[in-house]
Amino acid sequence: MSTLDEGTKAAVEGSWPLLPHERTWGRIPLLGVCVSASVATWIFITGGFVAFYLPAGQGAITMIAGSLVGILLIVLALLRVTTRYGIDSVAASTPQLGKRGAYVALALTYASVIGWNTLLLVFLGRAAAEILISTDVFGEGARQTLIVVFGLLGVAAAWAILRGGPARMRNVAPVIAVGVTLIAVFLLIALIVNVGWSKIADAEALAPSDSKIFNYVTGFELLVASMLSWWPYVGGTVRLAPGTKTALWPTVIGLGLAIALLSMIGLFAALAIPESGGDPTTYLVEIGGLGFGLPALAFIILANIGTTMVGVYVSALALKQVPTLQARLPWNATTALALAPVALAVALVPNWVFDNFGSFLAFIGVAFAPLCGIQIVDYVVFRKHTLDLRAVFLGRRGDAYEYWGGVNPAGIAGLIGGAAAYIYLLDPVDYTSRAPYQYISASVPAAFVAACVYALITKFVVMPAGKGGYGKTAEVAIERSSDEAVPALRR
């Protein structure tokens, strides 16, 4: 392998920025990765949560709105800067949080991806257990053991696929995307044929509030919060695309729209079969028989591996932001480190993860809505979508993003202010709310509060102190976003 190939491999499998000619993912591969990542069992459970508050028609419209608003926040926060410089989401947070402050974003990324991957692999185990129990290979008493065993096999499968790096992910993603989309369509058809559209359309919400507007806003909030969980994923995937134009519509359609549309299956299933909660592993064989149910469950296993694979990749990129790991830990060891806590959770507390899905969604809103808010105001208002690559990746004393001890107080204060606003409006544990939540939701106001706090401190404290590289960013970006600049960082 040539030196250039080695450098490219190190960049793609690490946190280094990618050169323009290394960003080889076109619209179709990127769309395939987005769809294969989004079409996993968790979207059906999200729809099932919305069924507690809204019936079919109102829930469907509300979910589309929430999903598109959520992806809009991510696009505004990340898309242009990550595609322009070939960097991932955590690296893109360094100008707002500081070189050391960006470890907060790394921790949030690691925690959220661990949560999602654990959930997905528990669902994978549930699907595999349902196949084996439905075919009388094992009895009902073996269900919990089967869930754990096959969840751990899913961990091993995701690690094995990623041994080939993101190129392997790019190649298998379109196949997974087509397969799971077809299964989703068949799921919808099977529901309508076996249950009847009239029963689905006429079904009442399962446990609505007395306030109709509260029900609408909560359905909206569930989709905004779940979409914000894609903050780590978006940067990690679109950095491999050649530009913003290439990445925009695959991201919006493959994540924003696909998640909303496919979550509707969970909504409809929960309304028609309330005890399912939208989880297809509980009703596929019942409504479709073995001939349909078993292949569908097999594709659900495949879909969850596809999403887990993307999650492991982006969490490995985040871990590579730690200089010691970037320099000393090989790719396969990094992906193993990303999967280790997932394997422990699958083995030890699978039911706890499943039972606390709603609180996990709220945590996503608490964590990532403020982060999107500070990035939007910083990149759009202050930096005009430019940054200093050397300060991000080398971080020498006195560089633009050193701030005070490597931490930008504006960014940390913005995160705290936004999180406080979210928790005031909506308790993430028991979903009790305070006014004016029923009119404005929680994630969007949290992003707005974080942006305002960040803007004020930046304008009146950070910029007068000469910190953050404001006023110099444009020249640095023009000089350092070329093919000549990035190799210098990688030598």
Identify whether 390 is part of a domain. Answer: no
Task: Indicate the residue type of 84.
Answer: R
Distance CA 392, CA 92 (A): 8
| Complete DSSP assignment for 192-229 | HHHH-HHHHHHPPPSS--S-HHHHHHHHHHHHHHHHHT
Tokens of 76: 């505004």
Distance CA 308, CA 165 (A): 14
Domain that holds residue 246: 3-358
Q: What is the DSSP letter of 20?
A: G
Identify whether 463 is part of a domain. Answer: no
Give 264: exposed, middle or buried? Use CB within 10 Å, 0-12, 13-18, 19+: buried
Identify whether 409 is part of a domain. Answer: no
Q: Would you give per-residue pLDDT tens digits along the chain (491 residues)?
A: 334 354 455 555 556 888 888 888 889 889 888 887 777 777 888 999 999 999 999 999 999 999 999 999 999 999 999 999 999 899 999 999 999 999 999 999 888 888 888 988 998 898 889 889 988 899 999 999 999 999 999 999 989 888 876 667 667 767 776 777 777 788 888 888 888 899 999 999 999 999 999 999 999 999 999 899 889 889 888 998 999 999 999 999 999 999 999 899 999 999 998 888 787 777 777 777 777 777 777 777 877 887 788 788 878 877 877 777 776 788 888 889 999 999 999 999 888 877 787 778 778 889 999 999 999 999 999 999 899 998 998 867 778 999 999 999 999 999 999 999 999 999 888 888 999 999 999 999 999 999 999 999 999 999 999 999 997 644 444 444 444 445 555 54
Number of structural domains in the chain: 1
- For residue 473, the model assigns a pLDDT of 46
C-beta separation of 433 from 425 below 8 A: yes
- For residue 3, the model assigns a pLDDT of 40
Identify whether 412 is part of a domain. Answer: no
Identify whether 247 is part of a domain. Answer: yes
Distance CA 429, CA 413 (A): 23
Positive/negative CA dihedral, 15, 21, 27, 33: negative
Identify whether 393 is part of a domain. Answer: no
C-beta separation of 53 from 209 below 8 A: yes
433: three-class secondary structure by DSSP:
strand
Distance CA 48, CA 45 (A): 5
Residues forming beta bridges with residue 404, ordered by sequence position: 407
Distance CA 226, CA 360 (A): 9
Distance CA 34, CA 259 (A): 10
- For residue 39, the model assigns a pLDDT of 72
How large is the angle between the packed helices 357-376 and 56-74, nearest 10 degrees? 40
Positive/negative CA dihedral, 485, 487, 489, 491: negative
- For residue 345, the model assigns a pLDDT of 92
CATH code of the domain covering residue 218: 1.10.4160.10
Question: Which residue has tokens 């830990």?
Answer: 329
Distance CA 423, CA 233 (A): 25
C-beta separation of 361 from 429 below 8 A: no
Residues forming beta bridges with residue 426, ordered by sequence position: 433
Identify whether 59 is part of a domain. Answer: yes
Identify whether 36 is part of a domain. Answer: yes
